[in-house]
Amino acid sequence: MAKLCEGRVAVVTGAGRGIGREHALSLASQGAKVVVNDLGAGVDGSGGDVSPAQSVVDEIKGMGGEAVANGDDISSWEGAQRLINTAVETFGDINIVVNNAGILRDRMLTNMTEEEWDAVIKVHLKGTFGPARWAAAYWREQAKAGKEVYGRIINTTSVSGIYGNIGQTNYGAAKAGIASFTVIAALELARFGVTVNAVAPVALTRMTEGLGNAPETDEEREMRSPRWIAPIVTWLAGSEAGDVTGRIFEASGQTLAIAEGWHRGPSVKPIDDPTKIGAAVTEMLKTARPNAGMDGKDGSYPQNTIGKK
């Protein structure tokens, strides 16, 4: 039986640990040659150590696969270009880009610093844009040259971005931006034969330790294992997913789902008198679908509590 990614060349950012490591190992198990990118930084983005990436490379080679480590900073323009070049120069092509790298600088909005905002936006949002942009440019040139293009971009968004989570305005904004980036890039790159999708994972990793309730049983720990995220990413990267693009998938040990984007809800005719807006909005809110909570379900979002105790 043919493997899903047989002979393809994949780049996975933030692949030295956690979810990214699972992606790299899964892609390799399905026949992909993998560039394992990881700066080796801490959860907050500080420091650097290429050994986690090299460790994953060693695991892949131990499986009989092909891989190479890369320690470039994908949030820099030049680093992102070098990453894509590494794939082409080492393996002769680039087919799959999994944008997974990220950091956390959680803080309530009233206390968040400019540096905390900028750092998270840079790593997540620019760190998604850079590798995607250089890969897309490569595929465009292939298409112009009359070559058949096999291109897959799989981004990493978050339920914090598509549904909202307190204390993560920077992270949530970046992840919501990645979801929109995914939809638009899918529209732009379809003519080259490139698909663009995103996954919103829920898993227990270095980044999520200390967020929410810690798992207390082996069953709970298994449900929050990062291994549950890799199957959908690997499938999206594979040969069977050529007609799936512009979609956001939720993935965890509890569910695999498609997150549906913004849709227009209740509406009225335009009103040019601000004194009449209130009554119209009140009526629309009566039938408007409430925002989803972090579980993706209606009614679980904390509704307006201003002035309430």
The residues that are catalytic are 171
Alpha carbons 111 and 118: distance in angstroms, whole number: 14
**Cβ(192)–Cβ(276) under 8 Å?**
no
Please state, as a whole number, how many other Cβ atoms lie within 10 Å of the Cβ of residue 144: 9
Q: Exposed, middle or buried: residue 211 (CB in 10 Å: 0-12, 13-18, 19+)?
A: middle
Q: Exposed, middle or buried: residue 188 (CB in 10 Å: 0-12, 13-18, 19+)?
A: exposed
Alpha carbons 259 and 200: distance in angstroms, whole number: 9
The three-state DSSP-derived secondary structure of 143-198 is HHCCCCCCEEEEEECCHHHHCCCCCEHHHHHHHHHHHHHHHHHHHHHHHHCEEEEE
Alpha carbons 96 and 288: distance in angstroms, whole number: 39
Alpha carbons 10 and 249: distance in angstroms, whole number: 20
Alpha carbons 226 and 277: distance in angstroms, whole number: 47
**Cβ(206)–Cβ(18) under 8 Å?**
yes
Alpha carbons 99 and 20: distance in angstroms, whole number: 9
